Structure 1
């Protein structure tokens, strides 16, 4: 499965990817500093948004893209590795 992570911390980017890989998920990480990343998400099976680390505009852009492409979205306030693990398990 492929998933996209929006938000999070730059310093944890490698750990997000490694954690997802251990769970059998290919993860695309966008920490929120990229421009127009909704088009780069593509057709993932899941979009995870860490809401405390992303702007309202970015959140709206991602949810609109996901809704248009029938992609489930999980919005979580925390941005830790354990939060990502729980989001990928459920």
Structure 2
């Protein structure tokens, strides 16, 4: 697997814009994703009418935690004190 990833990385001519976008917010994602995962799990547990398959719940929680972390990082970086809380290039 490592050799496959290395082979793909060496043959790329330019870095995909998706990777650049995510790397801009990677520190904020690292800091905040567990908070949003915890809140999401509590919400889904307390919502009895919403019975999701565990795999679907995992996918939804993954996407929601990443998107919420990116939005939070973006909003925090707009404040003057935000640069001391969240690093955003």
Give TM-score scaled by structure 2 length.
0.25
Q: Which has the higher helix share?
A: 2
Q: Which has the higher strand share?
A: 1
| Higher Cα Rg, which structure | 2
